[in-house]
Structure 1
Amino acid sequence: MSVYVIADIKVTNDQWVPAYGASVHELVHSHGGKYLARSGNVKTLEGKPLDTTFIALLEFPSEDAVKAFATDPRYAPFAVARQQGSESRLQMIDDTDGRNDFIPAQSDMLLMQRMLKKVRCIEKRVGHYRRWGDARSAQSSPLSHPVCWIGPCSIP
């Protein structure tokens, strides 16, 4: 499952930035990551604006890949320089909400199928009453037909 790193950086001393930009990009790629966005053009749409110089959004194939990148000895001097020359907040989020969790569970799907079957049964009964002018339609509601609620509809 993909994971994302959100880097919120307020630069306090920009001497580290050129070397970091020139080298860290390749390190991210070597661990399967990629930059999705990186910009100093940060606009607050809602809430209190952050005191941010730039934000970067990175995608990695897994949490293990992020950990491997963060602990890579080649990254250590760049991380130290960034930490000393900025106020940084790096956050990792997973793709939990993007895994189609909005699709109902199997049991929910079965329930929905049963309910749809009942609706179709009721529609058939209403059509049957209208089509044949069944005298029972005056005394009986399609909703009261027990077969519609406990099993397959017997009306063609």
Structure 2
Amino acid sequence: MSNKFYSVLEVTLTNDDWIPAYIGPANKLVAQYGGKYLARTNSHERLEGDRDQPALRIVIEWPFRQAAVDFMNDPGYVPHLKARTAGSVSHHALIEAKDDFA
């Protein structure tokens, strides 16, 4: 059985004009690919390190890796992704739910 995967995003807004048109389609497509938002908030605190804090932290659980990849490449999401990346500085990591040090 394959492990779940998690998208972990740090999003620092440069403008927020894109957000109203982004939320609905992104919610729908995440759900369509079996994803589930676990966190989508600006309520966070740094416990370690000295990097600048992003405005938003987002965590999405995926049932398997390909679901996340298919979501990101969905033709219905591409224009929203372009709007998000144009209106923010974003970092997105896809993390497999496993412990390589256990």
For 2:64, the aligned partner's letter is S
Give the whole-Å Cα distance in 2 for the aligned partners of 1:96 and 1:64: 16
For 1:60, the aligned partner's letter is W
Unmatched 5+ residue regions in structure 2?
none
Report how far residue 51 of structure 1 moved.
3.3
Report how far residue 47 of structure 1 moved.
1.0
Aligned residue for 1:59, secondary structure, equals strand
Q: Which residue of 2 aligns with 1:65?
A: 67
Of 94, 97, 103, 2:96 maps to: 94
Of 54, 77, 80, 1:78 maps to: 80
Write 1 or 2 for the structure with the bigger share of strand: 2
Give the whole-Å Cα distance in 1 for the aligned partners of 2:57 and 2:15: 16
Count of residue pairs brought into register by the alignment: 100
Q: Which residue of 2 aligns with 1:56?
A: 58
Give the ranges of 4+ consecutive aligned residues of structure 1 lying more than 3 Å apart after TM superposition: none
Q: Which residue of 2 aligns with 1:46?
A: 48
Write 1 or 2 for the structure with the bigger share of helix: 1
Task: Calculate the aligned-residue CA RMSD, in Å.
Answer: 1.5
Report how far residue 50 of structure 1 moved.
2.7
Q: Which residue of 2 aligns with 1:31?
A: 33
Unmatched 5+ residue regions in structure 1?
103-156
Report how far residue 19 of structure 1 moved.
1.4
Give the whole-Å Cα distance in 1 for the aligned partners of 2:64 and 2:7: 11
Aligned residue for 1:20, secondary structure, equals helix
Aligned residue for 1:36, secondary structure, equals strand
CA contact (8 A) 2:46 2:53 kept: no
TM-score normalised by the chain length of structure 2: 0.91
Give the whole-Å Cα distance in 2 for the aligned partners of 1:49 and 1:35: 24
Give the whole-Å Cα distance in 2 for the aligned partners of 1:74 and 1:22: 12
Aligned residue for 1:19, secondary structure, equals helix
Report how far residue 83 of structure 1 moved.
0.7
